[in-house]
Amino acid sequence: MSNKIKFGTDGWRAIIAEEYNFENLSRVTIGTLKWLKKINKKPSVVIGYDCRFGGEIFSNLCAKILSSNGVDVIQSTTFAATPVVSYAVKHFNCDLGIVITASHNPAEYSGFKLKGSYGGPLTQKEILEVEELIPENSNLNYEKLNIENIKYKDLDLIYLNNIEKEFDFELISKKDLKIAYNGMFGAGQGIMKKLSKYFSKHSLYHNCCFNPSFNNINPEPIFKNLQDFSNIIQDDISFAFANDGDADRIGIMNEKGHFVDSHHVMLLLIHYLVSHKKTTGDVVTSFSCSNKIKKLCDHHGLNHQVTKIGFKYIADIILKNDVLIGGEESGGISVKGHIPERDGIWTAMILIEYIAKSGKSINELIEEIYDITGPFCFKRNDLKISTKEKNQIIKMCENDSFSHFEDLKVIKVEKLDGFKFIFNEDEWVMIRPSGTEPLLRIYAEGSSEERAESILSKTIKTISN
């Protein structure tokens, strides 16, 4: 009997040639097919893939299975970022999008993301429906699969046409901004190379080639994975950023090559959209995000809502409400006026436009935010520990065993998704197991870098005893 296939916080992911094989991918595709046929007798699907090993082969298999069962398939002609596929689903009025990607996971993983007709993640309810329809065995005769209903499209071109209409590229070009971009060997590099004509000819494009191993660095745009990128950034850089493997996340650097976390990115977006573009709407963030976001929302008179971790929860709210931005600590952010989807390229363009219009650096713009919220620092550590140790720590959290982390007294515990231990109005630590990897994530926020590091260190020491 085959193993039960479960979707995590953002799709199904598994190690290539182990659980991620032709048989299991076929099973997931058949479950998706059954779900599609329930919502439309003649459904249509967009399929794309990232730069991982076997992406095109896996994409072709999905396309053939669907095409052979009467589904009209639009398949990307080359690798495509997740937001590019999501936008194409909405552009072509298709019922579903499939992206063969494991996002920021290590190179040995691949995955399977599902996107709704609106250009964003399927709801949790729909994901569970698909899961229930995945058969124990595919029972496929691969030789009988056909490609009669498959059309091939340059999805990057469709996305590019849209992004060129939405941003002030005339101003951006005049400013001759020198951009540093780290593609992390991922699918965002295609779009960014096409946008390079709007930036200085001296702009830097780092890790923008095909390398399915990601040079043995996880394609997640967090500080520990961007140190080589930090080293090449000079004072004359106008804006520096990186995207993850499928370009739905962003990590940015200031002009000194120092990492700027996603909490600061969201604060910059809110301030620019409200103060400069006069846009309004609710702000929705995941449980692991900074308390400073609520403080800035209060300043601008915006409603702030917190969700469980997983962009599908944010997307569900975006579909039902007027949302200005929805964002996660991991760097996945959706902005009003686009699709209800995380988009690291779109987010970067907003910040580039902000820099062009203000004439200020990222650091100067952050100082404007600090005038409202006060300064802060966020740190995260992903602990690789045994499943037994991880379960023991989570059990202790569930039993309220931690009232102190050394000299840090816990005044409140929030358990929306993981365990957030509050020390005061501005400082906290959070413990949560990863939904896609064998890791225990520790998040800490403090009033300074020294305080955040101290909170993180004291927490790790406490839970390790």
CATH number assigned to the domain comprising residue 83: 3.40.120.10
In the chain, how many domains are there? 3
111 within domain boundaries: yes
Q: Is the pLDDT of residue 98 over 50?
A: yes
Q: Is the pLDDT of residue 292 over 50?
A: yes
402 within domain boundaries: yes
Q: End of a domain among 111, 136, 156?
A: 156
Regarding whether 192 and 171 lie in a shared domain, the answer is yes
CA–CA separation, 331 and 309 (whole Å): 12
332 within domain boundaries: yes
Regarding whether 330 and 265 lie in a shared domain, the answer is yes
Q: End of a domain among 355, 373, 391?
A: 373
Average pLDDT of 10-18?
93
2 within domain boundaries: no
Q: How far is CA 67 from CA 29, 47, 127, 149, 153, in A?
A: 11, 11, 21, 5, 16
Q: Is the pLDDT of residue 229 over 70?
A: yes
Q: How do residues 109-141 score in pLDDT, each as one tens digit?
A: 999 999 999 999 998 899 999 999 999 999 999
Q: Is the pLDDT of residue 82 over 50?
A: yes
Q: Average pLDDT, whole number, for the chain?
A: 95
Residue 127's CB: how many other CB atoms inside 10 A? Answer: 21
Q: End of a domain among 123, 156, 189?
A: 156
Per-residue confidence (pLDDT) for residue 101, from 0 to 100 = 97
CA–CA separation, 52 and 50 (whole Å): 6
Average pLDDT of 291-318?
95
Residue 436 binned pLDDT confidence (cut-offs 50, 70, 90): low
Per-residue confidence (pLDDT) for residue 3, from 0 to 100 = 83
Q: Percent of the chain beyond pLDDT 90?
A: 89
Regarding whether 236 and 145 lie in a shared domain, the answer is no
Regarding whether 61 and 180 lie in a shared domain, the answer is no
- Judged by average pLDDT, the poorest of 64-78, 206-220, 321-335, 432-446 is 432-446
Regarding whether 201 and 77 lie in a shared domain, the answer is no
Of 346, 381, 165, nearest to 248 (Cα)? 346
Q: Is the pLDDT of residue 231 over 70?
A: yes
Regarding whether 211 and 112 lie in a shared domain, the answer is no
Q: What residue has token string 């962003």?
A: 250
Q: Is the pLDDT of residue 443 over 50?
A: yes
Regarding whether 30 and 125 lie in a shared domain, the answer is yes
Q: Is the pLDDT of residue 2 over 70?
A: no
Regarding whether 333 and 184 lie in a shared domain, the answer is yes
6 within domain boundaries: no
Helix, strand, coil % in the chain, rounded to nearest 5: 40, 25, 40
Regarding whether 393 and 364 lie in a shared domain, the answer is no
Average pLDDT of 160-182?
97
Per-residue confidence (pLDDT) for residue 439, from 0 to 100 = 86
Average pLDDT of 381-393?
90
Regarding whether 100 and 83 lie in a shared domain, the answer is yes
Regarding whether 215 and 290 lie in a shared domain, the answer is yes
Do 152 and 75 contact (CB within 8 A), yes or no? yes
Regarding whether 93 and 175 lie in a shared domain, the answer is no
Of 256, 118, 251, nearest to 183 (Cα)? 251
Q: Is 455 helix (H, G, I), strand (E, B) or coil?
A: helix
Domain residue limits at 426: 377-464
Q: Is the pLDDT of residue 438 over 90?
A: no
This prediction has a pTM of: 0.93
Per-residue confidence (pLDDT) for residue 434, from 0 to 100 = 79
Per-residue confidence (pLDDT) for residue 1, from 0 to 100 = 42
**pLDDT: which is higher, 465 or 99:** 99
